[in-house]
Amino acid sequence: MNLKANEILSLFQPAGILESLDGDATISIISPVEVGKTGALVFVDNKSFLPYLRENKPSAVVTNKEFITEILTYGIEAVFLTKNVAVAHAAIKQKYADRDLFTSEWGKRHVSAVIHESATVPESCMIGPNVVIGANTVLGDRTVLLAGAVVESGARLGEDCVIFPNAVIGYECILGKRVYIKSGTVIGSEGFGFALGNDRRYHRIPQTGIVVLEDDVHVGANCCIDRAAYTETRIKRGTKFDNLCHVAHNVEIGEDCALTAGFIVAGSTKIGNRVMTSGQCGILDHLTITDDVIMGMRPGVSNDVKKPGVYAGIPLQPFGEYTKSLAIYRKLPELRARVNELEKALKAMKGEG
């Protein structure tokens, strides 16, 4: 990497990611603010980062209106202004400092890959060692399958997808464009469908539906998204999963959700757009969660959530109620002691003591 700050501005200003640039500099690396020195581009959206700028003097800084006036007094060569430092960080690092999946030690198509003759695999795709691609599979242009990935028969993947090592895309499942599936994840595992007989034995109900992941969905490592019993499990555009998440059969999850580690949702539940959860969120089956809901503090969801807002706890409750309940809970030993004293006093008044 060796480019001028004004080159970065010319690329990202038209998209509204960067607003302006004061000065210019040659940039050779994108760095954390704590260590960025001459040649480095760093990102600052927190007051605690300012001492590092004064001490290290990086060549370029991306910041917002809150800090730009002070930063301009530090003598830094180039200072970018943006409305959203985090978004600028994401865009610039994707462009200049992301992993290059198309420069592989194995070449474009490893000899150990097993590709069915009926599969459609464009020349622009990268196919790593021990990849398996089943019959009638269709891959989009520039899709990357890293070592050990499996794409079963009839699956369809859009352009610019990345399937990381040892991930599995089940038969007939559909992925849109720019879908990332991290290592160890299974898309289209069989849903948990069993009938309990009068003999108290379980009888498997074949799960023959599919999973659909729309454009720009990212699924972290070691997740499972189950195929539907008959129709589809669907994850809508832009939703992001952390590692170790599980989505049961027939679930529908809306657009631009952010679901962190330990997220588990049971079958046939419908989740709206822009829902966010903290770690270890559990949601029961056949529920409906509306748009713009934030759930925290290891939430446990046992009923529909009909109003947007911030919720927490088990059972799930509005965040204000949760904090009040938590305050009372912490005082339970004290309250119990007071109740015991009052009972003794009442008995004494009645002559029962």
pLDDT of residue 104: 83
Contact predicate 134/114, CB 8 Å: no
In a domain, 105, yes or no: no
In a domain, 46, yes or no: yes
Q: Are residues 223 and 336 in the same domain?
A: no
Looking up residue 72, the CATH number of its domain turns out to be 3.40.1390.10
Q: Are residues 143 and 183 in the same domain?
A: yes
Length of the chain (residues): 353
Q: Are residues 333 and 266 in the same domain?
A: no
Summarised one tens digit per residue, pLDDT across range 24-47 is 999 999 999 999 999 999 999 999
Q: Are residues 27 and 144 in the same domain?
A: no
Residue 132's H or E segment, with its range, is: strand 132-133
Distance of CA 347 to the CA centre of its chain: 59
In a domain, 108, yes or no: no
> Which range among 98-102, 184-188, 292-296 shows the weakest confidence by mean pLDDT?
98-102
In a domain, 129, yes or no: yes
In a domain, 55, yes or no: yes
Q: Are residues 18 and 121 in the same domain?
A: no
Task: Looking at the chain, list the stretches that DSSP marks H as alpha helix, in order from N- to C-terminal side.
Answer: 5-12, 50-56, 65-71, 85-96, 319-330, 332-349
Q: Are residues 149 and 242 in the same domain?
A: yes
Active site residues: 249
Contact predicate 109/122, CB 8 Å: no
Contacts of 253 (CB under 8 A, 6+ apart): 234, 235, 236, 239, 247, 259, 265, 271, 275
40 vs 25: CA distance, rounded Å: 10
Summarised one tens digit per residue, pLDDT across range 290-348 is 999 999 999 999 999 999 999 999 999 999 999 988 888 888 888 888 889 898 888 88
**Residue 257 is part of which domain span?**
114-322
Looking up residue 172, the CATH number of its domain turns out to be 2.160.10.10
How many domains are contained in the chain?
A: 3
In a domain, 177, yes or no: yes
Contact predicate 155/137, CB 8 Å: yes
